[in-house]
Protein backbone atom coordinates (compact mmCIF):
# COMPACT_ATOMS: atom_id res chain seq x y z
CA UNK A 1 0.00 0.00 0.00
CA UNK A 2 2.90 2.38 -0.69
CA UNK A 3 1.00 4.08 -3.50
CA UNK A 4 0.75 7.82 -2.80
CA UNK A 5 -2.86 8.33 -4.00
CA UNK A 6 -1.93 11.76 -5.28
CA UNK A 7 -4.87 14.10 -5.70
CA UNK A 8 -5.83 17.38 -7.29
CA UNK A 9 -8.73 19.73 -6.53
CA UNK A 10 -10.67 21.85 -9.02
CA UNK A 11 -12.83 24.65 -7.57
CA UNK A 12 -15.45 26.45 -9.64
CA UNK A 13 -16.42 29.98 -8.56
CA UNK A 14 -19.14 32.43 -9.49
CA UNK A 15 -18.42 36.07 -10.26
CA UNK A 16 -20.77 38.79 -8.99
CA UNK A 17 -20.88 42.51 -9.69
CA UNK A 18 -19.67 44.20 -6.49
CA UNK A 19 -22.31 46.92 -6.89
CA UNK A 20 -25.42 44.95 -7.90
CA UNK A 21 -24.37 41.47 -6.65
CA UNK A 22 -25.85 40.09 -9.85
CA UNK A 23 -23.98 38.71 -12.87
CA UNK A 24 -21.30 41.15 -14.07
CA UNK A 25 -21.48 42.55 -17.54
CA UNK A 26 -19.14 45.39 -18.50
CA UNK A 27 -16.35 44.47 -16.06
CA UNK A 28 -16.03 40.81 -16.99
CA UNK A 29 -13.73 41.23 -20.00
CA UNK A 30 -11.18 43.24 -18.02
CA UNK A 31 -11.40 40.84 -15.08
CA UNK A 32 -10.77 37.73 -17.17
CA UNK A 33 -7.91 39.47 -19.01
CA UNK A 34 -6.22 40.38 -15.72
CA UNK A 35 -6.68 36.85 -14.36
CA UNK A 36 -5.16 35.37 -17.49
CA UNK A 37 -2.15 37.67 -17.18
CA UNK A 38 -1.54 36.98 -13.46
CA UNK A 39 -2.89 33.48 -12.75
CA UNK A 40 -1.84 30.96 -15.35
CA UNK A 41 -3.59 28.14 -13.47
CA UNK A 42 -7.04 29.79 -13.51
CA UNK A 43 -9.39 28.69 -16.30
CA UNK A 44 -12.53 30.08 -17.91
CA UNK A 45 -15.68 28.01 -17.38
CA UNK A 46 -18.73 27.35 -19.55
CA UNK A 47 -20.44 30.62 -18.62
CA UNK A 48 -18.68 33.98 -18.53
CA UNK A 49 -19.77 34.54 -14.92
CA UNK A 50 -17.69 31.55 -13.76
CA UNK A 51 -14.02 30.76 -13.25
CA UNK A 52 -12.07 27.72 -12.07
CA UNK A 53 -8.86 27.27 -10.08
CA UNK A 54 -7.00 24.01 -9.47
CA UNK A 55 -4.24 22.54 -7.36
CA UNK A 56 -1.43 20.52 -8.99
CA UNK A 57 -1.19 16.78 -8.25
CA UNK A 58 0.18 16.21 -4.76
CA UNK A 59 0.23 13.71 -1.91
CA UNK A 60 0.35 16.48 0.68
CA UNK A 61 -2.92 18.02 1.95
CA UNK A 62 -1.09 21.03 3.41
CA UNK A 63 0.53 21.71 0.04
CA UNK A 64 -2.83 21.57 -1.73
CA UNK A 65 -4.33 23.93 0.83
CA UNK A 66 -1.49 26.44 0.52
CA UNK A 67 -1.78 26.46 -3.27
CA UNK A 68 -5.55 26.96 -3.31
CA UNK A 69 -5.44 29.52 -0.50
CA UNK A 70 -2.99 31.60 -2.51
CA UNK A 71 -5.14 31.34 -5.65
CA UNK A 72 -8.30 32.31 -3.75
CA UNK A 73 -6.55 35.29 -2.19
CA UNK A 74 -5.13 36.54 -5.48
CA UNK A 75 -8.44 36.01 -7.29
CA UNK A 76 -10.21 38.11 -4.66
CA UNK A 77 -7.58 40.84 -4.98
CA UNK A 78 -8.06 41.00 -8.75
CA UNK A 79 -11.80 41.08 -8.18
CA UNK A 80 -11.48 44.02 -5.80
CA UNK A 81 -9.54 45.92 -8.47
CA UNK A 82 -12.20 45.24 -11.11
CA UNK A 83 -15.41 45.53 -9.08
CA UNK A 84 -15.98 41.77 -9.08
CA UNK A 85 -16.79 39.45 -6.16
CA UNK A 86 -15.58 35.86 -6.73
CA UNK A 87 -17.30 33.34 -4.48
CA UNK A 88 -17.66 29.60 -4.04
CA UNK A 89 -21.19 28.17 -3.88
CA UNK A 90 -23.18 25.54 -5.74
CA UNK A 91 -25.65 28.11 -7.10
CA UNK A 92 -25.66 31.90 -7.44
CA UNK A 93 -28.19 33.50 -5.02
CA UNK A 94 -29.21 36.34 -7.35
CA UNK A 95 -28.19 35.54 -10.95
CA UNK A 96 -30.76 34.64 -13.61
CA UNK A 97 -29.95 32.04 -16.23
CA UNK A 98 -31.51 34.09 -19.04
CA UNK A 99 -28.90 36.81 -18.49
CA UNK A 100 -25.87 34.51 -18.96
CA UNK A 101 -23.52 34.28 -21.92
CA UNK A 102 -21.32 31.34 -22.88
CA UNK A 103 -17.54 31.63 -22.83
CA UNK A 104 -16.08 32.10 -26.32
CA UNK A 105 -14.38 28.71 -26.65
CA UNK A 106 -14.92 25.99 -29.24
CA UNK A 107 -15.74 23.28 -26.68
CA UNK A 108 -18.32 25.47 -24.94
CA UNK A 109 -19.88 26.57 -28.22
CA UNK A 110 -20.27 22.90 -29.11
CA UNK A 111 -21.84 22.10 -25.75
CA UNK A 112 -24.27 25.00 -26.05
CA UNK A 113 -25.26 23.94 -29.56
CA UNK A 114 -25.93 20.44 -28.28
CA UNK A 115 -27.67 21.35 -25.02
CA UNK A 116 -29.55 24.46 -26.22
CA UNK A 117 -31.56 26.12 -23.44
CA UNK A 118 -30.48 23.44 -20.96
CA UNK A 119 -26.88 24.57 -21.44
CA UNK A 120 -27.72 28.20 -20.74
CA UNK A 121 -29.53 27.12 -17.56
CA UNK A 122 -26.38 25.34 -16.33
CA UNK A 123 -25.72 28.07 -13.77
CA UNK A 124 -24.01 25.88 -11.16
CA UNK A 125 -20.54 25.44 -9.67
CA UNK A 126 -19.00 22.27 -8.28
CA UNK A 127 -15.97 20.90 -6.48
CA UNK A 128 -14.11 18.23 -8.48
CA UNK A 129 -11.48 15.97 -6.90
CA UNK A 130 -9.11 13.70 -8.82
CA UNK A 131 -7.42 10.79 -7.01
CA UNK A 132 -4.80 8.59 -8.66
CA UNK A 133 -5.24 4.85 -8.27
CA UNK A 134 -2.54 2.14 -8.36
CA UNK A 135 -4.17 0.30 -11.28
CA UNK A 136 -6.08 2.52 -13.72
CA UNK A 137 -7.77 -0.59 -15.20
CA UNK A 138 -9.46 -1.16 -11.82
CA UNK A 139 -11.27 2.19 -11.87
CA UNK A 140 -14.59 0.82 -13.15
CA UNK A 141 -14.83 -1.65 -10.27
CA UNK A 142 -13.72 1.02 -7.78
CA UNK A 143 -16.23 3.52 -9.16
CA UNK A 144 -19.15 1.19 -8.53
CA UNK A 145 -18.05 0.32 -5.00
CA UNK A 146 -17.56 3.99 -4.07
CA UNK A 147 -21.11 5.04 -5.00
CA UNK A 148 -22.67 4.43 -1.55
CA UNK A 149 -20.41 7.09 -0.05
CA UNK A 150 -21.46 9.89 -2.42
CA UNK A 151 -24.50 11.10 -0.42
CA UNK A 152 -22.39 11.79 2.68
CA UNK A 153 -19.85 13.78 0.65
CA UNK A 154 -22.66 15.74 -1.03
CA UNK A 155 -24.34 16.54 2.29
CA UNK A 156 -21.08 17.89 3.74
CA UNK A 157 -20.57 20.14 0.71
CA UNK A 158 -24.08 21.59 0.31
CA UNK A 159 -23.90 25.27 -0.57
CA UNK A 160 -26.85 25.88 -2.90
CA UNK A 161 -30.04 26.84 -1.01
CA UNK A 162 -30.96 29.65 -3.47
CA UNK A 163 -31.82 29.51 -7.18
CA UNK A 164 -32.84 32.38 -9.47
CA UNK A 165 -33.27 34.68 -6.48
CA UNK A 166 -35.55 32.25 -4.63
CA UNK A 167 -35.29 30.14 -1.49
CA UNK A 168 -35.52 26.52 -2.62
CA UNK A 169 -36.06 25.01 0.82
CA UNK A 170 -33.16 22.71 -0.03
CA UNK A 171 -29.55 22.66 1.09
CA UNK A 172 -28.13 21.46 -2.21
CA UNK A 173 -30.22 22.51 -5.20
CA UNK A 174 -27.21 22.41 -7.54
CA UNK A 175 -27.40 18.69 -8.33
CA UNK A 176 -31.16 19.04 -8.96
CA UNK A 177 -30.51 21.81 -11.51
CA UNK A 178 -27.56 19.95 -13.05
CA UNK A 179 -29.75 16.89 -13.57
CA UNK A 180 -31.36 18.72 -16.52
CA UNK A 181 -28.23 17.84 -18.48
CA UNK A 182 -27.90 14.41 -20.10
CA UNK A 183 -25.40 11.86 -18.76
CA UNK A 184 -25.36 13.28 -15.23
CA UNK A 185 -26.16 11.76 -11.84
CA UNK A 186 -25.02 8.28 -10.85
CA UNK A 187 -23.04 6.23 -13.37
CA UNK A 188 -24.42 2.87 -14.43
CA UNK A 189 -23.31 -0.27 -12.62
CA UNK A 190 -20.82 -1.48 -15.22
CA UNK A 191 -19.90 -5.13 -14.71
CA UNK A 192 -16.29 -4.67 -15.81
CA UNK A 193 -13.99 -2.39 -17.83
CA UNK A 194 -14.95 -4.12 -21.07
CA UNK A 195 -18.61 -3.21 -20.64
CA UNK A 196 -17.67 0.41 -19.87
CA UNK A 197 -15.36 0.50 -22.92
CA UNK A 198 -18.21 -0.85 -25.08
CA UNK A 199 -20.53 1.87 -23.77
CA UNK A 200 -18.03 4.64 -24.55
CA UNK A 201 -17.25 3.14 -27.96
CA UNK A 202 -20.89 3.01 -29.05
CA UNK A 203 -21.62 6.48 -27.66
CA UNK A 204 -18.68 8.01 -29.56
CA UNK A 205 -19.09 6.07 -32.81
CA UNK A 206 -22.78 6.95 -32.93
CA UNK A 207 -21.99 10.63 -32.48
CA UNK A 208 -23.77 10.96 -29.12
CA UNK A 209 -20.57 12.26 -27.49
CA UNK A 210 -17.16 13.34 -28.76
CA UNK A 211 -15.30 11.43 -26.04
CA UNK A 212 -15.69 10.19 -22.45
CA UNK A 213 -15.21 13.68 -21.02
CA UNK A 214 -18.84 14.33 -22.04
CA UNK A 215 -19.99 11.79 -19.44
CA UNK A 216 -20.79 14.20 -16.61
CA UNK A 217 -21.55 11.66 -13.89
CA UNK A 218 -21.11 12.36 -10.18
CA UNK A 219 -18.16 9.98 -10.20
CA UNK A 220 -16.23 8.95 -13.28
CA UNK A 221 -12.87 7.64 -14.52
CA UNK A 222 -10.93 10.56 -15.94
CA UNK A 223 -10.19 10.51 -19.65
CA UNK A 224 -6.94 12.53 -19.31
CA UNK A 225 -5.50 11.20 -16.06
CA UNK A 226 -5.15 7.81 -14.26
CA UNK A 227 -7.66 9.02 -11.69
CA UNK A 228 -11.17 8.70 -10.38
CA UNK A 229 -12.91 12.07 -10.44
CA UNK A 230 -15.45 13.03 -7.76
CA UNK A 231 -18.03 15.46 -9.16
CA UNK A 232 -20.95 15.16 -6.73
CA UNK A 233 -19.93 17.99 -4.37
CA UNK A 234 -21.10 21.59 -4.42
CA UNK A 235 -18.38 24.21 -4.64
CA UNK A 236 -17.34 24.71 -1.00
CA UNK A 237 -17.37 28.25 0.34
CA UNK A 238 -14.78 27.48 3.02
CA UNK A 239 -11.51 26.13 1.67
CA UNK A 240 -11.05 23.81 4.65
CA UNK A 241 -14.41 22.17 3.86
CA UNK A 242 -13.20 21.49 0.32
CA UNK A 243 -9.99 19.96 1.70
CA UNK A 244 -12.02 17.80 4.08
CA UNK A 245 -14.17 16.37 1.29
CA UNK A 246 -11.14 15.83 -0.96
CA UNK A 247 -9.28 14.03 1.82
CA UNK A 248 -12.26 11.84 2.69
CA UNK A 249 -12.63 10.85 -0.95
CA UNK A 250 -8.92 10.10 -1.19
CA UNK A 251 -9.14 7.86 1.89
CA UNK A 252 -12.23 6.12 0.52
CA UNK A 253 -10.44 5.34 -2.73
CA UNK A 254 -7.58 3.75 -0.78
CA UNK A 255 -10.10 1.89 1.40
CA UNK A 256 -11.89 0.20 -1.50
CA UNK A 257 -8.56 -0.63 -3.14
CA UNK A 258 -7.28 -2.46 -0.07
CA UNK A 259 -10.57 -4.30 0.58
CA UNK A 260 -12.00 -5.66 -2.64
CA UNK A 261 -15.02 -7.11 -0.82
CA UNK A 262 -16.25 -3.69 0.37
CA UNK A 263 -19.52 -2.86 -1.42
CA UNK A 264 -18.96 -5.74 -3.84
CA UNK A 265 -22.02 -7.17 -5.55
CA UNK A 266 -23.95 -3.92 -5.87
CA UNK A 267 -27.51 -4.47 -7.11
CA UNK A 268 -30.20 -2.36 -8.73
CA UNK A 269 -31.76 -2.03 -5.27
CA UNK A 270 -28.44 -0.77 -3.87
CA UNK A 271 -28.32 1.90 -6.57
CA UNK A 272 -31.89 2.83 -5.71
CA UNK A 273 -30.98 3.39 -2.06
CA UNK A 274 -28.06 5.59 -3.15
CA UNK A 275 -30.39 7.69 -5.32
CA UNK A 276 -32.76 8.10 -2.39
CA UNK A 277 -29.87 9.13 -0.13
CA UNK A 278 -28.68 11.66 -2.69
CA UNK A 279 -32.15 13.21 -2.64
CA UNK A 280 -32.08 13.34 1.16
CA UNK A 281 -28.64 14.98 1.08
CA UNK A 282 -29.81 17.52 -1.51
CA UNK A 283 -32.88 18.37 0.54
CA UNK A 284 -31.52 18.45 4.10
CA UNK A 285 -27.72 18.68 3.88
CA UNK A 286 -25.99 17.83 7.16
CA UNK A 287 -29.39 17.48 8.85
CA UNK A 288 -30.30 14.59 6.56
CA UNK A 289 -30.91 11.02 7.64
CA UNK A 290 -29.50 8.48 5.18
CA UNK A 291 -30.60 4.93 4.57
CA UNK A 292 -28.24 2.18 5.70
CA UNK A 293 -29.11 -0.77 3.45
CA UNK A 294 -27.58 -3.43 5.71
CA UNK A 295 -29.44 -2.21 8.80
CA UNK A 296 -32.60 -1.18 6.95
CA UNK A 297 -32.60 2.08 8.92
CA UNK A 298 -32.26 5.79 8.23
CA UNK A 299 -29.37 7.16 10.28
CA UNK A 300 -28.46 10.79 11.08
CA UNK A 301 -25.50 12.38 9.33
CA UNK A 302 -23.49 12.52 12.56
CA UNK A 303 -23.64 8.74 12.81
CA UNK A 304 -22.91 8.27 9.11
CA UNK A 305 -19.85 10.50 9.41
CA UNK A 306 -18.56 8.62 12.45
CA UNK A 307 -18.95 5.34 10.56
CA UNK A 308 -17.10 6.77 7.56
CA UNK A 309 -14.27 8.10 9.74
CA UNK A 310 -13.93 4.74 11.49
CA UNK A 311 -14.02 2.93 8.15
CA UNK A 312 -11.15 5.06 6.80
CA UNK A 313 -9.11 5.59 9.99
CA UNK A 314 -6.22 3.43 8.77
CA UNK A 315 -6.22 5.21 5.42
CA UNK A 316 -6.26 8.69 6.96
CA UNK A 317 -3.25 7.73 9.09
CA UNK A 318 -1.40 6.31 6.10
CA UNK A 319 -2.13 9.38 3.96
CA UNK A 320 -1.42 11.84 6.80
CA UNK A 321 -4.79 13.60 6.63
CA UNK A 322 -6.50 12.64 9.91
CA UNK A 323 -7.09 16.24 11.02
CA UNK A 324 -8.40 17.25 7.60
CA UNK A 325 -10.85 14.33 7.51
CA UNK A 326 -12.15 14.81 11.05
CA UNK A 327 -13.23 18.34 10.12
CA UNK A 328 -16.35 16.55 8.86
CA UNK A 329 -17.52 16.49 12.48
CA UNK A 330 -17.30 20.29 12.62
CA UNK A 331 -19.27 20.65 9.38
CA UNK A 332 -22.05 18.46 10.76
CA UNK A 333 -22.06 20.32 14.09
CA UNK A 334 -21.90 23.89 12.73
CA UNK A 335 -23.72 23.34 9.45
CA UNK A 336 -22.59 23.53 5.86
CA UNK A 337 -22.41 26.68 3.74
CA UNK A 338 -26.11 26.25 2.95
CA UNK A 339 -27.01 26.65 6.63
CA UNK A 340 -24.88 29.79 6.96
CA UNK A 341 -26.36 31.33 3.82
CA UNK A 342 -29.91 30.77 5.06
CA UNK A 343 -28.95 32.22 8.46
CA UNK A 344 -27.50 35.36 6.82
CA UNK A 345 -30.62 35.76 4.67
CA UNK A 346 -32.96 35.29 7.65
CA UNK A 347 -30.99 37.75 9.80
CA UNK A 348 -31.11 40.41 7.06
CA UNK A 349 -34.85 39.96 6.62
CA UNK A 350 -35.34 40.21 10.38
CA UNK A 351 -33.51 43.55 10.33
CA UNK A 352 -36.05 44.80 7.80
CA UNK A 353 -34.11 44.21 4.56
CA UNK A 354 -36.09 43.55 1.43
CA UNK A 355 -35.66 40.16 -0.21
CA UNK A 356 -33.21 41.40 -2.84
CA UNK A 357 -31.16 43.20 -0.18
CA UNK A 358 -31.07 40.03 1.92
CA UNK A 359 -29.84 38.05 -1.08
CA UNK A 360 -27.14 40.68 -1.64
CA UNK A 361 -26.06 40.15 1.97
CA UNK A 362 -25.71 36.45 1.20
CA UNK A 363 -23.48 37.22 -1.80
CA UNK A 364 -21.30 39.48 0.37
CA UNK A 365 -21.07 36.73 2.99
CA UNK A 366 -20.05 34.16 0.37
CA UNK A 367 -17.37 36.44 -1.09
CA UNK A 368 -15.92 37.09 2.38
CA UNK A 369 -15.81 33.40 3.33
CA UNK A 370 -14.31 32.44 -0.03
CA UNK A 371 -11.43 34.89 0.25
CA UNK A 372 -8.71 33.29 2.39
CA UNK A 373 -6.89 36.09 4.20
CA UNK A 374 -4.03 33.90 5.40
CA UNK A 375 -1.85 31.67 3.24
CA UNK A 376 -0.08 29.84 6.05
CA UNK A 377 -0.66 26.09 5.91
CA UNK A 378 -3.43 25.09 8.26
CA UNK A 379 -4.53 28.66 8.99
CA UNK A 380 -8.24 29.13 9.55
CA UNK A 381 -10.33 30.91 6.98
CA UNK A 382 -10.78 34.59 7.74
CA UNK A 383 -14.51 34.43 8.42
CA UNK A 384 -15.66 32.10 11.17
CA UNK A 385 -19.43 31.74 11.23
CA UNK A 386 -21.44 30.98 14.31
CA UNK A 387 -23.56 27.89 14.37
CA UNK A 388 -26.47 28.34 11.98
CA UNK A 389 -30.04 27.61 13.04
CA UNK A 390 -31.89 24.65 11.57
CA UNK A 391 -33.54 25.25 8.22
CA UNK A 392 -37.31 24.97 8.09
CA UNK A 393 -38.28 21.73 6.39
Task: Compute CA 230 distance to the chain's CA centroid, rounded to the nearest angstrom.
Answer: 8
pLDDT at 178 over 70: yes
Give the pLDDT confidence of 188-203 residue by residue, as tens digits.
999 999 999 999 999 9
1 pLDDT tier (thresholds 50, 70, 90): low
CB of 357 within 8 A of CB of 20?
Answer: no
pLDDT of residue 29: 84
94 DSSP assignment: S
Give the pLDDT confidence of 357-378 residue by residue, as tens digits.
999 999 999 999 999 875 433 4
Between 386 and 333, the higher pLDDT residue: 333
Between 26 and 182, the higher pLDDT residue: 182
pLDDT of residue 253: 98
385 pLDDT tier (thresholds 50, 70, 90): very low
CB of 157 within 8 A of CB of 234?
Answer: yes
Domains of the chain: 7-370 (3.30.590.20)
Q: Is the C-alpha dihedral spanning 21, 25, 30, 31 positive or negative?
A: positive
- Overall average pLDDT of the 42-57 stretch: 88
pLDDT of residue 341: 98
Give the pLDDT confidence of 322-358 residue by residue, as tens digits.
999 999 999 999 999 999 999 999 999 999 999 999 9
Of 195, 160, 197, 157, nearest in space to 179 by CA: 160
pLDDT of residue 114: 83
The answer for residues whose C-beta is within 8 angstroms of residue 103's C-beta and 6 or more apart is 44, 45, 46, 47, 48
Q: How far apart are CA 87 and CA 24, in angstroms?
A: 13
DSSP 189-244: --SSHHHHHHHHHHHHHTTS-SSGGG---SEEE-SSSSEEEEEEEEPPSSHHHHHH
Q: How far apart are CA 317 and CA 149, in angstroms?
A: 19
Helices within the chain (DSSP H only): 28-38, 61-82, 106-115, 117-120, 139-146, 150-157, 174-178, 193-205, 239-258, 268-284, 301-311, 313-318, 322-334, 337-350, 355-370
Between 28 and 169, the higher pLDDT residue: 169
Q: How far apart are CA 115 and CA 135, in angstroms?
A: 34
What pTM was computed for the model? 0.92
Between 392 and 201, the higher pLDDT residue: 201
pLDDT at 386 over 70: no
pLDDT of residue 118: 85
pLDDT at 158 over 90: yes
pLDDT of residue 304: 97
pLDDT of residue 23: 85
Give the pLDDT confidence of 283-305 residue by residue, as tens digits.
999 999 999 999 999 999 999 99
pLDDT of residue 28: 85
Task: Compute CA 137 distance to the chain's CA centroid, rounded to the nearest angstrom.
Answer: 25
21 DSSP assignment: S
CA atoms within 13 A on the CB side of 360: 11
pLDDT of residue 362: 98
CB of 329 within 8 A of CB of 308?
Answer: no
pLDDT of residue 379: 42
pLDDT of residue 96: 84
- Overall average pLDDT of the 311-321 stretch: 97
Looking at every residue in the chain, the average pLDDT score rounds to: 91
Helix (H/G/I), strand (E/B), else coil: 32: helix
pLDDT at 186 over 70: yes
- Overall average pLDDT of the 34-43 stretch: 89
pLDDT of residue 65: 97
Q: How far apart are CA 69 and CA 88, in angstroms?
A: 13
The answer for residues whose C-beta is within 8 angstroms of residue 319's C-beta and 6 or more apart is 5, 59, 247, 250, 251, 254
pLDDT of residue 104: 67
Amino acid sequence: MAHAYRFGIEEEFFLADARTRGSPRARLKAFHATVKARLDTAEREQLQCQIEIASPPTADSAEARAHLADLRRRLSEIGAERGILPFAAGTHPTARWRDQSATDKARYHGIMTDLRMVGQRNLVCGLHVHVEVPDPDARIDLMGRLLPFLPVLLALSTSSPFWQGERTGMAGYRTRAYAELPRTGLPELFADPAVYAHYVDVMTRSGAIADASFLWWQLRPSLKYPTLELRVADSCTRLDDALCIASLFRCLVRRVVRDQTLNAGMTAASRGFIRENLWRAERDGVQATLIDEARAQALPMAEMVETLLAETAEDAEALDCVKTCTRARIIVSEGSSADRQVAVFAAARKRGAREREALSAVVDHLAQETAVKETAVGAADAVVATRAPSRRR
